Amino acid sequence: MTVTALAGGVPAALASALAARGLDAAHAEALAAGGAPVALLVEPLDDAETIALVGEAARSGLDCHTGEGWAVVAGTLARLGGLARPSASSRLPERLSGELGRFLVDLQEPPRGWRTARRVLPLERSCVVGILNVTPDSFSDGGRHLTLAAALAGARAMQAAGADVIDVGGESTRPGAERPDEAEELRRVVPVVRAVVEETGLAVSVDTRRSRVAEAALAAGAEIVNDVSGLAHDERMTEVVRAGGAGVVLMHMRGDPQTMDARAQYRDVASEVAAELAACRDRAVAAGIARDAVVLDPGLGFAKHPAHNLALLDRLGSLTALGHPVMVGPSRKRFLGAVTGRPVEQRDAATAAACVVARLRGARLFRVHDVGAAREALAVADAVLGASVAGA
């Protein structure tokens, strides 16, 4: 059974209104959190579960819409919490109340940090991840960082512009790209990782689908594995991440970069991506990867048409509700060209705007080429959200 949040959000306005009227801050925040509007899609359900849910929802003052094998329950978080609590009078089957309870715990506890192999990265402020592609053929920065000196200069410039993490990749994953062999990917990535770690002291992640590349990069000082296949491509990858205590980005994709475009078919993109990422997270955690090491990423541009990417940005709440920090990587991608009509080298303003939208919808990490533009735009978004929470 999967449960998906169709809406959610930080009820900062309510908390601040209550605090302004004399409630102490903690009490105001707790009341406001309980008043947050939430809509949950629950499926699959059998007939008995559906009938029980309709009855309990009505008794709790919640809206409930049902169809063949599914239900949407909507109301405040506090009332939904009541549904999930076991009580003598509740007629909800244990499987359903238990699943709702587990889901609501994640929904209420947004993580404040990301555990990597070497530190806990704070996420109160937006975390900007600078892209360092050491490839000849990446779609926007291919060929720019082919020598060690050029790669290091790129990393230093991103650090000066406010990057928190440098993401080093040796394979282009643009649709239809040709793959380097493993020896070539190792040759590209490992010396750059070592040098960037030594020279910048920033957290370094390695963008790879290969376990041997991840392992060598972790040994060279990387602390995060960013795997666009969500640990599905290489069966040793999960163990390499676990054994290295690495932070991990689980990104959503269908198929692989060669086949993904044909698989961009969704009935309801946000709930499907959220459910597939939740399953990916469950496999990783069951295999021993620490929960607080996991970041989720909707995989903008991977098996998604422009409209899918835009809908996902708007409905990121379905992902943040899974209880992990969310990363987005809109940088210079095709869907931004489709919206603005700009060629790839003129999409940094659109990228910064997409980052701000994602921040307002709950994302905390932003993978970008132009670190300075994103950092500045996100500083405004962080300040607006901070002021709202502080009750100014």
- Which residues are known to be catalytic? 333, 367
Report the nearest approach of ligand HH2 to the CB of residue 390 (Å).
31
> Rule CB under 6 A: which of 348-377 touch ligand HH2?
367
How far apart (Å, rounded) are the C-alpha atoms in residues 34 and 370? 39
207, burial (CB in 10 Å: exposed 0-12, middle 13-18, buried 19+)? buried
Selected from 81, 154, 169, 180, the binder of ligand HH2 by CB under 6 A is 169
CB closer to ligand HH2 out of 6 and 241? 241
Which of these segments, 23-31, 72-80, 127-135, 336-344, binds ligand HH2 (CB under 6 A)?
127-135
Report the nearest approach of ligand HH2 to the CB of residue 14 (Å).
33
> Rule CB under 6 A: which of 246-285 touch ligand HH2?
249, 251
Q: Are residues 282 and 260 in contact, defined by beta-carbon separation less than 8 angstroms?
A: no
Q: Of 38, 37, 60, 41, which Cα lies nearest the Cα of 50? A: 41
Residue nearest to ligand HH2 (CB): 329
Q: Which residues of 51-83 are buried (b: 16+ CB within 10 A; e: fewer)?
A: ebbbebbeebebebebeeeebbbbbbbebbbbb
Report the nearest approach of ligand HH2 to the CB of residue 16 (Å).
34
Could you tell me the CA-to-CA distances from 55 to 2, 92, 93, 108 in Å, in that order? 20, 9, 12, 25
CB closer to ligand HH2 out of 76 and 351? 351
How far apart (Å, rounded) are the C-alpha atoms in residues 254 and 252? 7
Q: Is the dihedral of CA 282, 284, 287, 292 positive or negative?
A: negative
Q: Is 174 near ligand HH2 (CB under 6 A)?
A: yes
How far apart (Å, rounded) are the C-alpha atoms in residues 143 and 204? 20
Q: Are residues 321 and 107 in contact, defined by beta-carbon separation less than 8 angstroms?
A: yes
Q: Is 173 near ligand HH2 (CB under 6 A)?
A: yes
Q: Are residues 83 and 60 in contact, defined by beta-carbon separation less than 8 angstroms?
A: yes
CB closer to ligand HH2 out of 133 and 200? 133
How far apart (Å, rounded) are the C-alpha atoms in residues 229 and 280? 10
Which of these segments, 148-156, 167-175, 237-245, 339-347, binds ligand HH2 (CB under 6 A)?
167-175
Report the nearest approach of ligand HH2 to the CB of residue 335 (Å).
11
Site mask for ligand HH2 (CB under 6 A), range 130-149, x = bound: -x-x-x--xxx---------
Contact residues toward ligand HH2 (CB under 6 A) are: 131, 133, 135, 138-140, 169, 172-174, 207, 226, 228, 249, 251, 297, 299-300, 327, 329, 331, 367
